[in-house]
Chains A and B, each alone.
Chain A
Amino acid sequence: MNEAERCDRISLMHAGKVLVSDTPERLAEQRGGGNLEEAFVAYLQDPIDATDVKSPIAVPAPAIEAAEAGEHGVARSSLTQFFNLRRVFAYTQRESLELRRDPIRATLAILGSLILMFVMGYGINMDVENLTFAAMDRDETAISRDYLLQISGSRYFTELPAITDYDDLDRRMRSGELSLAIEIPPGFGRDVAHGRNVQIGAWVDGAMPSRAETVRGYVQAMHAQWLAGRARQLYGNAATAGDFQLAVRYRYNPDIKSIVAMAPAVIPILLLIIPAILAALSVVREKELGSIINFYVTPVTRLEFLLGKQIPYVLLGMLNFFLLTVFAVFVFRVPFTGSFPAFTGGAFLYVIITTAMGLLISAFMNSQIAAIFTTALLTMIPATQYSGLIDPVSSLQGAGAVIGRIYPTAHFVTITRGTFSKGLDLGDLPGPFIALFVTIPILLGLATALLKKQAS
């Protein structure tokens, strides 16, 4: 009481309700006749008298609570002591409130994945089109022009003004203006007509190797086509029929558009990174700000705490999932051919896994900034490199191949591509579903085991 007198304001509470709140002097004057201790007794006596009317036995306030807890303890089964849905939902509610009141985190949670989907859909683009090319035609005959026309006429190449000399060729290739330069030697038309061996020179800009490889493929194919076309002109169809034919069918993506291949595979990555970061932050934030003490000192168990934290992010993840799918189908115009329920079911399992991964990482982290970077690194690299986004899992070697076999993103990429592009349903994809299903208890179990219920 002596210390309390020095306070600016005092609130008196009984059974969770604030009875009065004022400066110590005022309280003492109003009820205690100048003595704070008297005032305290007087204020508390009112509600206790009120309960006396209801309950036959008069017991002091703390005793009532203890008795209540005891009664409930008998009534509850021992299971509910370890797992109580009310306590889980209390944390869920707390977490969703906090999320709603933090504009940057809420934006990231809802808009973040859409923005990144847009960026990655266009950014990881493997179509190679509108390539720039220019020719140095030193022959200027009908036949050389015919050769160049079939390159400039294709949809892959855009022709730029002709190259005047070697200096010009050098300068324009160095600046990156030209992806391809073709040189036709003097006397080309005459040599072709006489059946003498001639060479056409082609330079590809090798600065970006994957683009250069595609350009090389295009040029070789066009060259072969032009030769076949000339043979047909000279000798008729019989000459070009060949011993056998090889018919190439590009399936699941007949137009070979990058977006059709990439958009479905980007969904698993986005459903991994953002939910994992947010889930990790939800725990680490409490550690950094100190509010984790509420978890240490209340009867809530570790599993309840984690599940309660996880639920809002799983729901958010599913919301994101629907937004991303709608975005892929209506904005990127990727046809959806398979079973949507199977896709949704897979996504649900997957979002549980990704949030559980965030919770697991949170066990080792104490500061939010470290949690953001670690989660981003630990999830990004396996998801983009080893999960079949660009290179199929079968092409990986060594450690990459092992990660590719067990990492959940790889399985969900299989489900996504299967249901999106290949028209598959649940029955066709038992492996990935089982793998995802098994991962959940492992991750949650680890996260629960590693979470500390005491400050170290």
Chain B
Amino acid sequence: MRTTNIVQLGIKELWGLLRDPMMLILIVYAFTISIYTSSKAQPETLNQAALAIVDEDKSPVAARIITAFNPPYFTIPRLISQTEMDTGLDTFALNIPPNFQRDMLAQRSPTIQLNVDATRMSQAFTGAGYIQTIVSDEVSEFLARYRSAAALPIDLALRARFNPELNKGWFGAINNVISSVTMLSIILTGAALIREREHGTIEHLLVMPVTPFEIMASKIWSMGFVVLLAASVSLVFIVQGLLSVPIGGSVPLFLFGTALYLFAMTSMGIFLATVGGSMPQFGLLLTLVLMPLQMLSGATTPRESMPEIIQKIMLAAPNTHFVILAQAVLFRGAGLAVVWLQFAALLVIGAILFFFSLRRFRNFLR
């Protein structure tokens, strides 16, 4: 093994990448536009929720409740009949019973029914909470004849740490950096290997005095370097600069973690390229491998709500550790003392993947 060989072969890879416009466009897109849009396009949890009201009372208090719902949280309520309610078109349907006002003033505690379409999970809970609050505010205002806020004797001071406004754009931006790193690390290394094979230049390598280890190491460092560079540039200029998302922890620590992660993922890219063999096959394999890795890693939905067996299996994937690490460092400002375990796990998984891929790569060259 000679280090100069690895360096020279890696530089050759960089030249190859520089002359592949499609890949360059993909890198630029993944680390700029894609991050920007996924940060800006995150809708608020409750936005224009479809609400319908069945008003069987037609009293002043019912009218007050109906006019209380406004965009942007809710659509202007549609007034429907009881039978229309069962067609399931709206997310929420509020049913004000006959004689509601009379019964309320007579202190008979009448019941308003709120029907929620629970297949719309994203709005069901929050929306029901908002509707409850809006209705009871309107009713108590009507009864008290003035607007007031009652002070509770025992107060709950609830604060969200690390993201006080619960701004989804922050989450979207950083999450997209993570998924771009994942996607490109596999695609670039895999494509670098397959390009050689399809163009026949792998024959050149075979007759040169270089070992498979040197070839593989060169592809790993060069493509890993490109992704690392792109990720740090986009983190500083797009995420912190353009989107002004505050980063809690140390960026160098995150980049160090990214480097370890790239070691594992680029090895996986080589492995997939040896299985696929040709570009189209590789592309199909990617759709089957990338999506499960991304979705089950805990990047978009919390890991603890997945079945336990999946949580355990996913511990073997480098993505899981990288997502834990990235979220801890970038959102919560954690230091090495907190995330050292993830670093160790990435190193071990990376080493295993590397040697496994190297064995396959040797067979692939034969």
> Across chains A and B, which 6 residue pairs bring their CB atoms closest together, nearest first?
A123-B295, A206-B163, A206-B160, A368-B280, A253-B118, A207-B331
A204 touches B125 (CB 8 A): no
Of the candidates B112, B136, B279, B306, the one whose C-beta lies within 8 Å of that of A369 is B279
Which residue of A has the minimal Cβ distance to B108? A244
Could you tell me the distance between the alpha carbons of A421 and B88 in the complex, rounded to whole angstroms? 10
**A208–B132 Cα gap in the complex (Å)?**
25
Given A200-B155, A204-B159, A217-B125, decide whether A131 and B304 contact each other with a Cβ distance below 8 A: yes
> Roughly how many angstroms separate A285 CA and B283 CA in the complex, as a whole number?
13
**CB–CB A192/B111 < 8 A:** no
Asked if A241 is at the interface (CB within 8 A of a chain B CB), the reply is yes
Residue pair B305, A129 in contact (C-beta under 8 Å): yes
Are A262 and B152 neighbours in the complex by a CB distance under 8 Å? no
A-B contact count (CB 8 A): 279
- Collect the chain B residues with CB atoms within 8 Å of residue A260's CB: 118-119
Residues of B close to A422: CB separation below 8 A:
88, 119
Closest beta carbon of chain B to A96's beta carbon, Å: 18
Question: In the complex, are the beta carbons of A216 and B295 less than 8 A apart?
Answer: no
The chain A residue sitting closest to B290, CB to CB, is A376
Docked complex: B110-128 residues within 8 A CB-CB of A: 110-126, 128
Seed contacts A115-B292, A171-B338; 11 additional CB < 8 Å A-B pairs:
A105-B281, A206-B164, A208-B302, A210-B45, A212-B160, A213-B45, A242-B109, A247-B113, A285-B280, A392-B120, A395-B43
Partner of B158, one of A115, A209, A216: A216
Q: Is the CB of B47 within 8 A of A395?
A: yes
A130 and B305 contact, Cβ closer than 8 Å, known pairs A116-B291, A394-B91 = yes
Is A397 an interface residue, CB under 8 A from the partner? yes
B residues in contact with A285, CB < 8 Å: 280
Whole-angstrom CA separation of A248 from B115 in the bound complex: 6
**Could you tell me the distance in whole angstroms from the C-beta of A173 to the nearest C-beta in chain B?**
6
Which of A1-9, A219-227, A303-311 binds B?
A219-227
Q: Which residue of A lies closest to B155 (CB)?
A: A199
Query: Contact: A123 with B300, CB < 8 Å?
Result: yes
In the complex, what distance in Å separates the CA atom of A417 from the CA atom of B339? 42
Question: Is there an interface contact between B114 and A249, defined as CB atoms closer than 8 Å?
Answer: yes
Write out the residue numbers on chain A whose beta carbons fall within 8 Å of the beta carbon of B155: 197-200
Q: At the interface, yes or no: A235 with Cβ under 8 Å from chain B?
A: no
B279 near A368 with CB under 8 A, answer yes
Provided the pairs A202-B157, A258-B121, A372-B283 are in contact, do residues A212 and B291 lie with their beta carbons within 8 angstroms? no
Which residue of A127, A251, A428 contacts B117 across the interface (Cβ within 8 Å)? A251
The chain B residue sitting closest to A221, CB to CB, is B129
Do B285 and A244 have beta carbons less than 8 Å apart? no
Judge whether A132 and B304 touch: CB under 8 Å: yes
Q: Name the A residues within 8 Å of B302 (CB-CB).
A: 128, 208, 211
Cβ B122 vs Cβ A206 within 8 A: no
A220 to B160, CA, bound (A): 13
A217 to B125, CA, bound (A): 8
Task: Identify the closest chain B residue to A126 (Cβ).
Answer: B121
B residues within 8 A CB of A395? 43, 47-50, 123
Chain A residues with CB under 8 A of B110: 244-245
* Best-buried of A227, A247, A395 by chain B (most CB within 10 Å): A395
Residues on B facing A (Cβ under 8 Å): 22, 41, 43, 45, 47-50, 75, 87-88, 91, 100, 104, 107, 109-126, 128-129, 132, 135-136, 139-140, 143, 151-164, 166-168, 170-171, 276, 279-285, 287-288, 291-292, 295-296, 300-302, 304-307, 310, 324, 327-328, 331-335, 338-339
Contact for A248 among B114, B159, B167, CB less than 8 A: B114
A120 cross-chain contacts in B, Cβ below 8 A: 291, 295
User: A110 to nearest B CB, angstroms?
Assistant: 12
Residues A235-262 near B (CB distance < 8 A): 241-254, 256, 258, 260-262
Name 16 A/B residue pairs within 8 A (Cβ), A-sorted: A104-B284, A108-B284, A125-B301, A126-B122, A128-B302, A174-B335, A200-B156, A205-B160, A217-B129, A247-B111, A248-B128, A265-B119, A372-B280, A372-B283, A394-B49, A394-B91
A175 within 8 A of B: yes
Q: A246-B132, A369-B279, A394-B48 are in contact. Are A261 and B121 (CB under 8 A)?
A: yes
Known: A173-B161, A246-B111. A390 touches B295 (CB 8 A): no
Q: Which residues of A contact B161 (CB under 8 A)?
A: 173, 203-206
A373: interface (CB < 8 Å): yes
- Is A161 part of the contact surface with B, judged by Cβ < 8 Å? no
Q: Report chain B residues within 8 Å CB of A58.
A: none
**B113 CB contacts on chain A under 8 angstroms:** 246-247, 249
Name the one of B129, B167, B276, B304 contacting A209, with C-beta atoms under 8 angstroms.
B167
Per-residue CB contact flags for chain A residues 363-375 toward chain B (1 = under 8 Å, else 0) read 0000111101100
Does A84 sit within 8 A of B, measured CB to CB? no
Q: How far is the CB of A338 from chain B (nearest CB, A)?
A: 10
Whole-angstrom CA separation of A285 from B157 in the bound complex:
62
Chain B residue at minimal CB-CB distance from A111: B288
Q: Is A136 in contact with chain B by the CB < 8 A criterion?
A: no
Interface residues in A40-73 by Cβ distance below 8 A to B read none
Q: Is the CB of B292 within 8 A of A206?
A: no
